[in-house]
Amino acid sequence: MAKLLVVDDEQSIRESIRMFLSEKGHMIHTASTLKEAITVFQELTPEVVILDIRLPDGSGLAALSQMYAFNPLSKIIMITAFQDMETTIEAMKKGAYDYIHKPLDADELEKAVDDAIANHREDTKTAVTQKCSEGYNKSEIVGKSRAMKEIFKMIGMLCQNRATALITGETGTGKELVARRLHLSSPCGKKPFVTFDCSAIVDTLLESELFGHEKGAFTGAVNSNPGKIQLAGDGTLFLDEIGELPLNLQGKLLGFLERKQYMSVGGKNVLNSRCRIIAATNKDLAQMVREKRFRDDLYYRLKVVTITLPPLRQRLSDINHLVVHFIQKTATDLGIQQMTLQDGCIERLKCHPWTGNVRELENIIVSASIQSRGSVILLDTIEDLLSNSRISHDQSGNSLSLSQVESRHIFTTLESVKWNKTRAAKTLEISLPTLRKKIKKYHLTPRN
């Protein structure tokens, strides 16, 4: 049960909302003017306020500001019959928890109120202990699992020399981050770190981008330009997606690795470089060698020192540490308050397949931090974001979106309990409003 304040100048709306939410077990108070609303709010400090934008004696936005200043933990849901973009933006800027248009939809209102109450309770728990972000180490590789400890050992050994290194791993495992850490920990850590994505540039320009070109070397070459090798100087050149490098350039790269000499496109002089090469790939280079798509001599030259990054699903124990890191990073980078997680979020995150690995986890945390309208990221928010990001496969191997999979799962569960929504929600481990929302979203109806 929660204390709610409903503010609207129309008696029929106040009464309808009061009756609807009273049936849910909440204690409802009402007000019809701005002045009355402020008085009641300061006396009761309700968890949630449902506040009309237009009141007889002033704007609901003014009441929003005063209420929020008096008690920033209260969640204020604005309602209006006028769909005005500017007003909506202004209300959210001033701290409104949600913004709902009239005529009010019962499910939408109930969902907003339930979420607001949950957020208020979590905020209240953490209000005393909540701390501002103390920043984070951008070059930190987060992890305490055995697999990551082995990675740290390897970095520690490799940073003492300038040996060429190959970093392998699935997309999103943090290959560039490892390369940067390896560079920063080495004696050349203050020298340039230059990234070259072999998959991002058309084949005709790759050689010029890598080795540089002289004026007039080809049509459009009106000036001489240094290549990435020259820009790296005595530092590190990180060759990302090395598996995408064309065969003709693979030979030239091999020559550079062996002699530390190269020639720019159109150049006549041999150039020298001491830059360290760190390459990365998410492809199976050994298989590419067998298929004659990657030079075996370059492959063996690169793989002498190899760091293989584990996918996130193989180091789930690191999720807790990664989440804390990404929350701090998001707060610092975006200038927002540092969030905390509702109980159950970490356990839910550990159940996700993480096909996008650490990068996907970071995206989830950033999105959750932005979307959360309190100081706590709710489990429902995490659930919705994970549902939108995951791709599953049916038994035939055809790609199914999680929406299709989820729809089938919810329908099967509802059928098994004869469409008892309360029992279905408990079985699915989601709230009743969330279940109603999904039934509406997927247009689910009982079988005839």
* Beta bridge partners of residue 308, listed in sequence order: 168
pLDDT of residue 161: 87
Q: What is the CATH number of the domain that holds 103?
A: 3.40.50.2300
Domain that holds residue 156: 146-309
Q: How far is the C-alpha of 374 from the C-alpha of 321, rounded, in Å?
A: 22
**Is 86 inside any structural domain?**
yes
pLDDT of residue 260: 93
Residues 177, 318 within the same domain: no
- The beta strand positions in 81-214, using DSSP E, are 98-101, 165-168, 193-197
- Average pLDDT (374-395) is 74
- Report pLDDT digits (tens) over 296-317: 999 999 988 999 999 999 999 9
pLDDT of residue 169: 95
For residue 433, pLDDT beyond 80: yes
Beta strands 271-272; 261-262: pairing state: antiparallel
For residue 115, pLDDT beyond 80: yes
Domain boundary among 242, 275, 309: 309
Tell me how many domains the chain contains.
4
* pTM of the complete model beyond 0.85: no
- Average pLDDT (162-174) is 94
Q: What is the CATH number of the domain that holds 418?
A: 1.10.10.60
**Is 430 inside any structural domain?**
yes
- Average pLDDT (403-408) is 68
**Ranked by mean pLDDT, which of 199-203, 275-279, 351-355, 375-379 comes out on top?**
275-279
**Is 135 inside any structural domain?**
no
CA atoms within 13 A on the CB side of 281: 19
**Is 138 inside any structural domain?**
no
pLDDT of residue 126: 58
- Average pLDDT (74-86) is 86
CA atoms within 13 A on the CB side of 285: 27
Q: How far is the C-alpha of 420 from the C-alpha of 90, rounded, in Å?
A: 41
**Is 198 inside any structural domain?**
yes
Confidence of residue 131 (pLDDT cuts 50, 70, 90): very low
Domain boundary among 345, 363, 389: 389
Q: How far is CA 74 from CA 1, 31, 380, in A?
A: 15, 16, 20
Residues 238, 290 within the same domain: yes
Residues 288, 172 within the same domain: yes
Residues 271, 338 within the same domain: no
Q: How far is the C-alpha of 276 from the C-alpha of 165, rounded, in Å?
A: 9
Residues 168, 304 within the same domain: yes
Task: DSSP for 252-313, please give it.
Answer: HHHHHHHHSEE--BT--S-EE---EEEEEESS-HHHHHHTTSS-HHHHHHHTTSEEEPPPGG
Residues 298, 152 within the same domain: yes
Better pLDDT: 51 or 81 = 51
**Is 24 inside any structural domain?**
yes
**Is 448 inside any structural domain?**
no
Residues 154, 297 within the same domain: yes
Domain boundary among 290, 309, 328: 309
- Report pLDDT digits (tens) over 11-52: 999 999 999 999 989 999 999 999 999 999 999 999 999 999
Q: How many helices (H) does the chain have, and how many strands (E)?
A: 19, 18
- Average pLDDT (202-208) is 83
pLDDT of residue 411: 84
Residues 119, 156 within the same domain: no
Residues 418, 297 within the same domain: no
Per-chain mean pLDDT for the chain: 87
End-to-end alpha carbon distance in the chain: 38
- Average pLDDT (393-421) is 66
Q: Which amino acid is at 407?
A: S
Q: What is the CATH number of the domain that holds 242?
A: 3.40.50.300
User: 180 burial class (0-12, 13-18, 19+ CB within 10 angstroms)?
Assistant: buried
pLDDT of residue 405: 61
**Is 304 inside any structural domain?**
yes
Q: Which two tokens stand for residue 117?
A: 């109450």
Better pLDDT: 250 or 343 = 250
